[in-house]
Amino acid sequence: MSFIFYDTETTGTNSAFDQILQFAAVRTDADLQEIERFEIRSRLLPYVVPSPHALRVTGLTIDQLLDEAHPSHYEMVGQLRRALGAWSPAAFVGYNSLRFDEEFLRQAFYQCLHPPYLTNTTGNRRADALHLIRAAAVLHPEHIVVAQSDKGGPSFKLDRLAPANGYNHPNAHEAMADVEALIFLCRIVRDRCPQLWTRFLRFADKGAVADFIGQEDAFLLMEFFPVQTGRFVVTAIGQNAVQPNIAYCYDLAVDPDQLRGLNDAELATRMTRAPRPIRKVKKNAAPSLCPLSEAPPELLGGVSPDEFVRRARQVRSDPALIERLVAAATATEPVYPSSPHVERRIYDGFWSNADARKLEAFHTASWEDRVVIAGGLEDERLAWLARRLIFVEQPHHLTPEHHDAMIGQVARRLMADAADCGGWTTLPKASSDLAAMMPGLAPSDAKQFSDLGAYFRKLVAELPAAVD
């Protein structure tokens, strides 16, 4: 299977409300030798306010974001889908991609009316090289150099980690440069830690994860928190009834006798206290798992693998306890109400096959016919997103009612109060951040951000009078 290493540069960190500005990918063969590459930028959407902090990181100017030579966001996403689809099936690998880049990619596809789950459907797999590097730092610290943060602690940021391991990375935070750095680090792990690399590839497939946790009596699970890596020896005991990709695993450091005497309410409370008896493994999110036979003894806390296996078999031989544990874990799963913002409703269920067929027709139809297709969509999320796409691309095709509604919606979004917005960057927030940033800027950066401030002021001046 080939690999697709990819990276994005964005207007901010909120995948639901920010946008991809630059996407880069390199397709390699199984030996990590480059086959071809793809890179594209897009123009700024009219309802997205770029974060000054994000632009300071990427070095992008407002003139670049508005450059008519770049495709629109909708055009970029269409080209992305065609390019990545032509490269599939493959293993998609990013750096911190499961929490960041992939969420941006899914949102881009969703908001542009394309199937959102390209990276883990139709034979594709996905994995996160940040997890690979952090696992290597735990399991094979002699083979990877962990960078230092400004405060002297460990840093796994790509722009620090790649140079610390011998990579010349002068264009950090430029998408293609970051992809090249990512491939460099993956080659280091492949060459120095072949067993870890093999597991990394294996567990990019959720079926392989399911097989492993079902066959192993006990295994090492690594969870990655901002500052440290959690290491737990666990045994699988069940799965979430609603989300079968979530497997519940019992932490074998917890004495089951402490739980058997608890009533249901006490057991539910105990689920949330450290050490938590149940750890979750997302089978479709490339978890970091390791057989006990391959785990360094110092990671097992002085307990032998045989003892962990004995504990695992003891827990799994008590079906009544397992039933109560799974029920308690399920009961403590967070329940999220449906958001009033369509962007946050990407996971509110799949749309119908009929709507899926209409969406495919949408992308090849004339703009006049796209208006008709938008009006015939059953899913209200898709209908709203379709009208917004038409508003951005060809607004004169909308009815006056829909056109005016979109103008008002965009204006309200740009000027929303912090309490009313869904976490996006508003003009007041961006202007305030920029004002606080300006005194600390180097003279060479002053014009870039002075131009950004002028753009913000222009947007405010052009707002409808009722919103300004």
DSSP secondary structure string for all residues of 265-320: HHHHHHTTSSSPSEEEEETTS--EEEEGGGS-GGGGTT--HHHHHHHHHHHHT-HH
Q: Which positions ≥6 away from 6 have C-beta within 8 Å?
A: 23, 24, 25, 26, 92, 93, 94, 97, 101, 179
Question: Tens digits of per-residue pLDDT, 265-295?
Answer: 999 999 999 999 999 999 999 999 999 999 9
Structure confidence at residue 171 (pLDDT): 81
Nearest to 129 by CA among 200, 76, 46, 79: 200
Q: How confident is the model at residue 418 (pLDDT cuts 50, 70, 90)?
A: confident
User: Is residue 112 packed enough to be buried (19+ CB in 10 Å), middle (13-18) or exposed (0-12)?
Assistant: buried
- pLDDT score of 467 more than 70: no
Structure confidence at residue 375 (pLDDT): 96
Structure confidence at residue 466 (pLDDT): 53
Structure confidence at residue 468 (pLDDT): 45
Nearest to 211 by CA among 247, 242, 240: 247
Q: Which positions ≥6 away from 266 have C-beta within 8 Å?
A: none
Average pLDDT over residues 160-175: 90
User: 233: helix, coil or strand?
Assistant: strand
- pLDDT score of 381 more than 90: yes
The bridge status of strand 246-251 relative to strand 20-28 is unpaired
Structure confidence at residue 170 (pLDDT): 81
Q: Cα separations (Å) of 211 from 208, 242, 243?
A: 5, 20, 17
Report the distance separating Cα 87 and Cα 43, nearest Å: 25
Q: What percent of the chain has pLDDT over 70?
A: 99
Question: Tens digits of per-residue pLDDT, 435-454?
Answer: 999 998 888 888 999 999 99
Unique residue bearing structure tokens 């899914």: 106
The angle subtended at Cα 104 by Cα 98 and Cα 107, nearest 5°, is: 115
Contact 150, 164 (CB under 8 A): no
Report the distance separating Cα 186 and Cα 200, nearest Å: 10
Question: Tens digits of per-residue pLDDT, 325-369?
Answer: 999 999 988 888 999 999 999 999 999 999 999 999 999 999 999
Average pLDDT over residues 168-175: 84
Question: Tens digits of per-residue pLDDT, 91-129?
Answer: 999 999 999 999 999 999 999 999 999 999 999 999 999
Question: Tens digits of per-residue pLDDT, 297-328?
Answer: 999 999 999 999 999 999 999 999 999 999 99
Structure confidence at residue 25 (pLDDT): 98
Backbone angles phi, psi at 192, to 5 degrees: -95, -25
- The string over 333-372, giving b where at least 16 C-beta atoms fall within 10 Å of a residue's C-beta and e elsewhere, is eeeeeeeeebbbbbeeeebeeebeebbeebeeeeeeebbe
Q: How confident is the model at residue 152 (pLDDT cuts 50, 70, 90)?
A: confident
User: 150: helix, coil or strand?
Assistant: coil
Backbone angles phi, psi at 298, to 5 degrees: -65, -20
Residue ranges and CATH numbers for the domains of the chain are: 2-194 (3.30.420.10), 205-331 (3.30.1520.20), 345-461 (no CATH)
Structure confidence at residue 226 (pLDDT): 84
Q: Cα separations (Å) of 202 from 25, 104, 205?
A: 22, 25, 6
- pLDDT score of 194 more than 50: yes
Structure confidence at residue 227 (pLDDT): 79
| Averaged pLDDT score across all residues of the chain | 95
Question: What is the value of pTM for the model shown?
Answer: 0.95
Instruction: Quote the tokens at residue 89.
Output: 């099936």
Backbone angles phi, psi at 279, to 5 degrees: -110, 145
SS3 percent helix, strand, coil of the chain, rounded to 5, is 50, 15, 35
Structure confidence at residue 240 (pLDDT): 93
Q: How many CB atoms lie within 10 A of CB 126?
A: 23
Average pLDDT over residues 74-89: 98
Structure confidence at residue 465 (pLDDT): 65
